[in-house]
Chains A and B, each alone.
Chain A
Amino acid sequence: EAGVTQFPSHSVIEKGQTVTLRCDPISGHDNLYWYRRVMGKEIKFLLHFVKESKQDESGMPNNRFLAERTGGTYSTLKVQPAELEDSGVYFCASSQVWGQGRAEAFFGQGTRLTVV
């Protein structure tokens, strides 16, 4: 069974450009989460999809970030325009049931974004 897959693994872009990160969750997992780790600090929650609906986007830093989940399958996270402080590692996770306490959340390997 394939795990959570993220593309690309690394991305280096200039300030002001646009970048789109993609996450393919484990097949059948309705719940999809985005997290971000900036500069070796804590990993922080960005948002949570249940199927194609945004359940919770309280962690999205500002309106330069746009997340979508087409048809409840893969998800994209677009940053437009990118700023220097957006650099970090973006993790995607998926789980079968609501609330990760009763199930394991499986994480992808992350996308390392560097804005120069």
Chain B
Amino acid sequence: TQLLEQSPQFLSIQEGENLTVYCNSSSVFSSLQWYRQEPGEGPVLLVTVVTGGEVKKLKRLTFQFGDARKDSSLHITAAQPGDTGLYLCAGAPAGGTSYGKLTFGQGTILTVHP
């Protein structure tokens, strides 16, 4: 069974601060995704990273896939209250097709105070 460990579980910061969320595993993933879930809504995909060492930027959000494709990080620069939400990482297993099955991390609840 592949596991994804996310840290921290909770993050409460002031507007304008920077933060990093980590997603780690002992397993290799063919790709890793980050989703954001707002209260009362379903998760929405932010990014998919595929290549080891890949870095993707989405405005103030920077996503990195580890060289060995076992870990990923999400860095937010100058956080805003609108960034508040639950951030989930999800991995597709390496070594063949995943048959649609994603393994999700436990999530990081981010609160950005004005």
A and B: bona fide binding partners: no
Chain B residues in the interface with A (C-beta under 8 A): none
Chain A residues in the interface with B (C-beta under 8 A): none
